[in-house]
Chain A
Amino acid sequence: MQDKLSFKKEFRNRTIFRIANYIFLGLVMISMVIPILKIVSDSLDSSATYGMSIIPKHLTFSAYKVIFTSESLYRPFLVSIYTTVVGTAIGLALTTLGAYVLIQDKMPGRKFFVWMVFFTMIFNGGLVPTYLVIKNIGLLNTLWSVILPLSLNVFNMILMKSFFQQIPESLFESAEIDGCSPMAIFIKIVLPLSKPAIASIGLFFAVEYWNHFFNFIMYITDSTKFNFQIKLRELVLDSTGLAAATSTSQTVSTSAIQNASIVVAMLPFLIIYPFCQKYFVTGITMGAVKE
């Protein structure tokens, strides 16, 4: 009898807890999404004051029209696309090549290479020495100064390496007996077998390149080579670029352009995220467990 009562009580408590839990997590999700939704809504709203609504009152796309018709705003967008595409390609090439060489257990000097790559995670020269090197080899004000330093990502290489290590050893051996060169094994066996890994790490690279702004601040002063993040920083956080951008159009308010720029800066990611979440999560869990 006693037992039955306590069981009932326990059951009731658990139901209350579950409902409270759903409500709490629901509120958390809302608070995560509201800031983004509010910006999206405001960017589509032509009213003078936005108020509290998260649905635009007077729907208009004029701010987006301004962004994609004035050169000072769409050019950075194109630079972003260029650095993302080229950077991801180079990053993936280096990551897969490096990971493939680093899994060759019998290769003389493997330990040295592993340490050489890993040591960069522990120690670096710092901002100024890196700046001086890039200045001295003449990369200042070229997009290579942004793309190349980011293309070697030790963390991604470790992830890729642990993916490659899951490929059965016997595949490599039989290919070797058939007279395949290491490059042929790499292209014909390793790469096709690790498509999911390449997809996740490629997405990590793409997000990193798309979101990157600091190398632009460090190495690029030529405003025609700014990416969209830098432009956005000028428009919203610095307010120096705002006057120039808004002078081109009197009809659209400055805050509409600011909001629309924020949306444009995250749009590519928001579009692919629901479809590629699978790949993000495989990469993330691998990384989290490894970390």
Chain B
Amino acid sequence: MVKKNNSTQTLSVLHKWKKNKKITEIFKYTYLYIMFLPILIVSIIFNYIPMAGVRFAFYEYTPFSQPKFIGFDNFKTLLTSKKFISAFSNTITLSFANLLLATLVSIIFALLMNELYNRFAKSFVQTIIYLPHFISWVVTASIFYMLLSPNNGFVNQILGMFGIDPIYFMADEKWWTPIFYFINRWRETGWGTIIYLAALSSINPELYEASSLDSATRLQQTWYVTLPGIMNTIIIVFILNLAKVFNLFESVFVLMNPMVVNSAEVIQTYTYKIGLQQSDYGYATAVGLFKSVISMVLVVLANNISKKIKGEGIL
């Protein structure tokens, strides 16, 4: 009798506790939802409402008229527009060449930095070569405009010593593209090595010991141990960056000028021009949507490939 009473008591206490726990849990989660509210609001206003705005891609819309539905006309216009096709192919050329250079140069630098056994020297080199990444694109472009300036610029003064006439580096299409690649390397190479250095430090040291027992030279070790060891990282970084080729923007925007528009105009700068300078909202949205959709497909593909290689996606 006593026993039974006891157990029902425990049960009711347990029941009460559970109920209480449920209440505290509801309270806790309401609290958490409220904490998340600011993020939701910012995200909805600046990310999700603009997404609804992509419908203007199917409208004729300028500041002076009401939006008028025209179906796929904007897309027809853009696919036949010479300027769009030129911007599209420039985007691909510039970002693809830039990506190949970035991969190659960063890997070589990472391999060389990995050979520094003095820790002080290594961290000193790292401090210096990471630095340009934190300098804004406007400042970067300004620095090189000053140094490459045809009157009184550093580079042209050096050339002048050899009797070479001043070259208008930034205003000459022939020079602009190589300089664009160079400036990108100047700013981003150090930053690009970080991920390879991390991968290099995670290679099993026993592999090196085993290969030196087999009397492999340093070069052979690099080729047969080091490179295969970071191959997955190389492929993943390459694919992820490949997914971002259409995002090319700031660097071009600040380095561009009307003289080099034919080889420098990319999709994003083109969108900016027609959308905000010429206020052709409908057409500019169509260009933006075209770019966003391709980018999205590329990112999702890259994520799936990365999942296959690394076993873990980026998203």
Q: How many residues of B contact A (CB 8 A)?
A: 88
Measured between beta carbons, the chain B residues less than 8 angstroms from A183 are: 31, 35
Residue contacts A-B, CB under 8 angstroms, 20 given: A17-B115, A29-B128, A32-B128, A32-B190, A98-B36, A101-B33, A101-B36, A113-B40, A120-B47, A123-B51, A124-B51, A125-B52, A128-B53, A129-B285, A130-B46, A213-B138, A233-B142, A258-B142, A262-B139, A284-B194
| Chain B residues in 8 Å Cβ range of A104 | 29, 32
Task: Write the B47-61 contact mask toward A (1 if CB under 8 angstroms, else 0).
Answer: 111111110100000
B146 with A39: CB separation less than 8 A? yes
Which residues of chain A come closer than 8 Å to B46, judged between CB atoms?
130, 133-134, 148-149, 152
- What is the 8 Å Cβ interface bit string for chain A, positions 14-41, against chain B (1 contact, 0 not)? 1001100110110011011101101100
B135 on the A face (CB < 8 A): yes
Contact B42 A94 (CB under 8 A): yes
Contact digits for B135-164, partner A, Cβ 8 Å, 1 yes 0 no: 111110111111100001010011000000
B136 close to A131 (CB less than 8 A): no
**Using Cβ atoms and an 8 Å threshold, which residues of chain A touch B217?**
10
A113 to B272, CA, bound (A): 31
Note all chain B residues with C-beta closer than 8 A to A36.
132, 135, 143
Given the complex of chains A and B, what is the CA–CA distance between A100 and B32 in angstroms?
A: 9
Q: Is A97 an interface residue (CB 8 A)?
A: yes
| CB of B116 closer than 8 Å to a CB of A | yes
Q: Please list the 6 inter-chain residue pairs (A to B) with the smallest Cβ-Cβ separation, ordered nearest first.
A: A129-B53, A126-B288, A125-B50, A211-B136, A236-B142, A128-B275
B235 at the interface (CB under 8 A from A): no
Cβ contact within 8 Å between B136 and A229: yes
Choose one: A24, A93, A269; the contact of B38 (CB below 8 Å).
Answer: A93
Q: Which residues of A contact B39 (CB under 8 A)?
A: 94, 97-98, 101, 117, 152
A5 contacts the other chain (Cβ, under 8 Å)?
Answer: no
Report the stretch among A48-56, A64-72, A161-169, A191-199 that lies at the interface.
Answer: A48-56
Contact indicator B131/A273 (Cβ below 8 Å): yes
B31–A182 contact, CB under 8 A?
A: yes
Asked if B116 contacts A129 (CB within 8 A), the reply is: no
Contact of B43 with A116 in the complex, beta carbons under 8 Å:
yes
Tell me if A61 counts as interface (CB < 8 A to partner B).
Answer: no
Q: A51-B157, A128-B288 are in contact. Are A269 and B130 (CB under 8 A)?
A: no
A121 and B142 contact, CB distance less than 8 A: no
CB-CB nearest in chain B for A117: B43
Cα distance, A210 to B112, chains bound together (Å): 33
- Contacts A28-B109, A52-B154 given; indicate if A129 touches B136 (C-beta within 8 A): no
A126 touches B49 (CB 8 A): no
Chain A 66-100 per-residue mask, 1 if CB under 8 angstroms from chain B, else 0: 00000000000000000000000000011001101
Assess A218 versus B276: contact at CB under 8 Å? Given A123-B51, A232-B142: yes
As a 0/1 sequence over residues 120 to 156 of chain A, the CB contacts with chain B under 8 angstroms (1 = contact) are: 1111111111111110010000000000110110000
Q: With the chains together, A186 CA to B281 CA distance in Å?
A: 44
A42 to B35, CA, bound (A): 51
- Does B289 sit within 8 A of A, measured CB to CB? yes
Most buried by B among A125, A128, A149: A128
User: Distance in Å from the Cβ of A70 to the closest Cβ of chain B?
Assistant: 19
